[in-house]
Structure 1
Amino acid sequence: MVRGWHGWLGTFNGVALITVAALPLAALAVWALAHRRSATGTTAAWRMSLADVGIVYGTVPWVWMIMLPGDRAGNVPGRVSLVPLRDLLTILAAGPLTVTLQVIGNLLVFATLGFLAPVRFAALASVPRILALAAGCSMLVEAAQYVLRLDRVSSVDDVLLNAAGAGLAALASRRWWRAPATAPSGPPRPAPVPGR
């Protein structure tokens, strides 16, 4: 039984299959949230609901995958790589397939968050803010990998690639960003007349 569950929950293929199987539930969650928000008179109920569910649905599986333990998890101490671009250069030397999987995979981890967060939250409608958010989330994941001794390398290059992916995705969604709230403007006031 444990092996059966591990096949679903503890492998990349299992996580991918669960993600695909959960798509109808995600669609149902969008519909339920939008219906509830529409009933209360919330403006842009569908947009908000799609962004809320999309951020979770598009980010959790990636984080789940990178938190899967390696073969020697718990038996080896955590490893850290704090020299920027060192791991990336090692990946580039490993060959095109490794480059594709590692680099594109790291770019996609927080891409959905980067794409949808500025659509959902006006306060995040800025590429520097999305970069900071994604870098912060990535640092938390890398720290968790180290502390939990998952037989993974906690690398600054992963943080850089995760943040870059979120930033590129944010740029791709720029036309749908929520406009920051501004003070309502009424008719212009007449200029004061001198001497009155």
Structure 2
Amino acid sequence: MTHNAFPPSPSRRTRSVVLLVLASLGLAGAVFVVRRPLMMSAPACMAGRWHGCFDTFNGVVLLTLAALPPAALVVWALARRRRAAGVRSAWRVSSAEVGMVYGTVPFLWMTLMPGGGAGTVPARVSLVPLRDLATMGPVGIGGNLLVFAALGLFAPVRFAALASVPRILALGAGCSILVETAQYVLRLDRVTSVDDVLVNATGAVLAGLASRRWWRTTTEAPADRPRPAPAPVP
């Protein structure tokens, strides 16, 4: 009788469960650290008031956390429907679709949130690369890296046409340019900076590289097309 020299590697399902548990613990720890600022916006958000909830970073973060269970429910419903239709990678595709929206919309809202002088102060533009990085600070740079991180993470997982680093870079840069243009046109009391575009696009690329093993390839069946039924055996 022969025995394997090494114990069997954990199954893919086990690894997924472990990663999910670790991510949940990390999220819970982050929420515990910032629980006091978040709770300051809770009364306004529960009352549905714009001021104190929708126009503050704390309020947007609190609403994002509250939307996590409904987002997970949407993933489950989409995946179940696709699996019933015989779609390949139903869970992966459904998670990518919801993840793109859930992880991008809150950052877009905060980025387009008007400042105190919105509509009155003139629009400001900074087109010199790397000049504004020093004034952003670690928090500013980290926030800009996260703006389109979810898009870079999930878009190539969902769409084979975006499964390359140059295309993710173009996607992140293009979306960032649209946001910066909106800030300028709407006069939101924010600086339209080329450094924001550079950091936003970098964040999208880094997140895309993190999900590279799950990218869709052109050889896979389309996600929204059921697999053909097997031919009958004579």
Report the TM range for the smaller structure's normalisation.
Answer: 0.7 to 0.9
- Normalised to the residue count of structure 2, the TM-score between the two structures is 0.72
Measured in 1, the distance between the counterparts of 2:113 and 2:66 equals 19
Instruction: Give the match for residue 181 of structure 2.
Output: 143
Q: What's the offset of the Cα at 1:119?
A: 1.0
Q: Could you list the runs of 5+ residues in structure 1 that have no partner in the other structure?
A: 92-98, 183-196
Normalised by the length of structure 1, the TM-score is: 0.85
SS class of match (2:125) = strand
Deviates more, 1:19-28 or 1:114-123: 114-123
Structure 1 stretches of at least 4 aligned residues deviating more than 4 Å after TM superposition: none
Match of 1:18 among 63, 80, 89: 63
Distance 1:36 1:6 in 2: 39
Q: Which of 127, 132, 144 lines up with 1:82 in the alignment?
A: 127
Q: Are 2:215 and 1:177 equivalent residues in the alignment?
A: yes
Change over 3 Å in CA distance of 1:3–1:30 after alignment to 2:
closer
Give me the whole-angstrom Cα distance separating, in 2, the residues matched to 1:107 and 1:19.
18
Size of the aligned set, in residue pairs, is 176
1:42 and 2:87 matched: yes
In the TM superposition, residue 143 of structure 1 has moved relative to its aligned partner by 0.4
Distance 2:48 2:182 in 1: 24
Deviations 1:30-63 (A, max 9, x none): 0111112122221111111000000000011011
Please report how far the alpha carbon of residue 3 of structure 1 lies from its aligned counterpart in structure 2 after TM superposition.
Answer: 9.4
Q: Residue 122 of structure 1 contacts residue 181 of structure 1 at CA under 8 Å; is this kept in 2?
A: no
Look up the SS of the partner of 2:103 in the other structure.
Answer: helix
1:75 aligned counterpart, secondary structure: coil
Q: CA deviation at 1:6?
A: 1.8
Name structure 2 gaps, 5 residues minimum: 1-43, 221-234
Partner of 2:200: 162
